[in-house]
Amino acid sequence: MADAGTDDALEVKIDWDCCMGSGNCVFWAPETFDLSDDGHAVVVDAAATDEGRLRSAAQGCPVGAITLWRAGAEIPLEEHT
């Protein structure tokens, strides 16, 4: 699923005004996210987790603070099944 190419690397952004440090993203993708000392989520290594799981982490953020980007464009997270 994850794009193996190096040209279009996935970028993970966190809105720190919104983030309240629930740690949910660290639970879903511990290789990618960590919590800073002041309780905000930080991106340690966006490439360390496959895209599917990153989507779960972003969708699962209780306050919607995480967005995924590729080549400057935001990747829509909402799925309608």
Partner 1 sequence: MPGLSSTADSAAVPFDPYELKDVVGGTIKDPYPAMQALRRISPVHSGPIDLGEGADIGDPDKPAPVTVFGYDEVVAVLRDGETYSSTIYEEVMGMVMGRTILQMDEPEHRSIRTLVASSFRSKMLERWEEDLVARVVNELIDTFIDQGRADLVRSVTFNFPVQVIARILGLPREDYPMFQRWTLELTSVAANWDRGVAASAALRDYFADVMEERRAHPGDDLISDLVRTEVEGRHLDDEEIFSFLRLLLPAGVETTYRATGSMLFGLLNDRDQFDALYNDRSLFPQAFEETIRWEPPVCVILRRATREAQLAGVTIEKGADLALLIGAANRDERKYPEPDRYNMFREQRQHVGFGFGVHVCLGMHLARMEARIAINTLLDRLGRFTLDPDAPPPHIEGMAFRSPLSLPVVFSPGG
Residues at the interface with partner 1 (CB under 8 A): 20-24, 26-27, 35, 38-39, 56, 59-60, 62-64, 81
Shortest distance in whole angstroms from residue 44 CB to partner 1: 14
- Which residue, 9 or 62, has its beta carbon nearer to partner 1? 62
- Integer Rg of the chain from CA: 12
Shortest distance in whole angstroms from residue 53 CB to partner 1: 8
Q: CA 34, 69, 78: angle at the middle one, nearest 5?
A: 90
| CA dihedral sign, ordered 51, 29, 45, 48 | negative
